[in-house]
Copies of this chain bind each other. A is one copy, B any other.
Amino acid sequence: MNRLDWNSLDGAGQRAALARPAQSRADSLRSGVEQIIARVRADGDDALRELSARFDRCTLEAIEVTEEEFRAAEATLAPALKAAIDEAAARIEAFHRAAAPMPVTLDTATGVRVERVLRPVGRVGLYVPAGSAPLPSTALMLGVPARIAGCREVVLCSPARADGGCDEAVLYAARSNGVHKVFKLGGAQAIAAMAYGTASVPKCDKLFGPGNAWVTEAKLQVSADPDGAAIDMPAGPSEVLVIADAAANPAFVAADLLSQAEHGPDSQVILLSPSATMLDAVEAEVLRQCAALPRAEIAEQALAQSRLIAVASLAQAVEVSNRYAPEHLILQVNEARELLDGIESAGSVFLGAWTPESVGDYCSGSNHVLPTYGYARSYSGVSVASYQKQITVQEVSPDGLRAIGPCTATLAAAEQLEAHRRAVTLRLAALEDAA
């Protein structure tokens, strides 16, 4: 792990300390994804079968999961896991419902009613990766808000196992939360299929979910094409920043850093503390705990890039965190809540010793699909609003037009938009004639 002292770094050193790995939007990735998308658009399901054989090493008979497979998945699933999925879904639903946008009505002048109404995005496509293991929790995080929003059709793609099957927990989580169709597809080809449609896969209006560099590049490409699909957000590798004071429990801090590090070799792990003793203790704990992990090798690669940074104060830690804009921010400090007002950019925040990131990953109720790679400066995590359009509506009465018509006409004249002006004055004249 890399030990750094923030205040002895110069500007370039501070930038380097917070640098993320260069996103390999390399030409080879870009053109590789372009080719996959072009193939799927040209050859549809045939292309999907061939690309799945090549990339996922599986032979797909039917691309779509059948009713029988859904039933078998539910029957096979361990009852404890089924109960955990249901329990998590209930809390995710409760919070997402509470945070969902509401319709708004306001009379901005007498006779001028302005409203905001909400409509679901019609058809949405969810992507659930399965790089090293299936992720039923991601099916929940994407499926539950789609169900609350009331999307007409919810489609989910997740890579098949080598035996051609789909993970039972993913199927159960999807089906019990309103996902209508599941397809055994992964990678850029899954994104292409949902963005453009094939004989089997319906064309979707908006795509959601995390993924590797190929999936991310495919999402960027289809979102730049008016004939493609909108996306939830761009994405990079997962990341955590922990701020710990001298009173933190080093074993807890280490456990949180490791639960990020085990995601993948490119996971970003940063610890900030004003206490050098704490940095020492956490480093020792990380090494001790890491040795016992089944994914120790992956975690070690991520830890080799991790940074333990000494700062002057908690206030400075918050400053540095805002500059980094972490996906996950854990505040293992006394009175964690006091730091919250100062937090400007983060995907999700975890307050205090008893709030490990894992609770947010699974079942506190918040969403785990969050902006990474500094996108927390301008993007938010997935929520019900991500699955809705907000449409404004206005209804003006004759009195209302008398009230706001002159203002409209003056501004239209200033902008030399005479037809805009006349659309008002012609109506006002009609009202006078009628009076």
Interface residues of A (CB under 8 A from B): 23, 25, 80-81, 83-85, 87-88, 91, 94-95, 98-99, 101, 104, 106, 108-109, 112, 114, 116-117, 119, 121-122, 132-137, 169, 205-206, 220, 224-226, 229-230, 234, 236, 249, 251-252, 255-256, 258-259, 261-263, 289, 293-295, 299, 336-337, 340, 343-367, 373-381, 383, 385, 388-398, 400-401, 404-408, 410-412, 414-424, 426-427, 430
27 A-B residue pairings within 8 Å (CB atoms): A80-B410, A91-B112, A99-B104, A106-B365, A112-B364, A119-B345, A122-B344, A122-B345, A135-B415, A230-B377, A255-B419, A258-B422, A259-B422, A259-B423, A293-B422, A295-B417, A299-B419, A354-B398, A356-B423, A356-B427, A358-B424, A359-B394, A359-B396, A360-B394, A362-B411, A362-B420, A380-B389
> A81-B410, A88-B411 are known contacts. Are A392 and B344 too (CB-CB below 8 A)?
no
Task: Give CA–CA (A258, B424) in the complex, Å.
Answer: 12
Are B395 and A365 interface neighbours, CB within 8 A? no
Q: Across the interface, which residues of B come within 8 angstroms of A388, CB to CB?
A: 380
Q: Across the interface, which residues of B come within 8 angstroms of A340, CB to CB?
A: 117, 393
Known pairs A25-B226, A262-B419, A378-B389 / 7 extra A-B pairs, C-beta < 8 Å: A226-B234, A251-B430, A262-B417, A347-B392, A349-B391, A349-B393, A357-B420
Closest to A95 in B: B114
Are A415 and B137 interface neighbours, CB within 8 A? yes
Name A412's contact: one of B337, B358, B393, B427 (CB within 8 Å): B358
Q: Across the interface, which residues of B come within 8 angstroms of A106, CB to CB?
A: 94-95, 98-99, 365
Closest to A371 in B: B389
Question: A306 to nearest B CB, angstroms?
Answer: 13
Closest to A90 in B: B108
Closest to A98 in B: B106
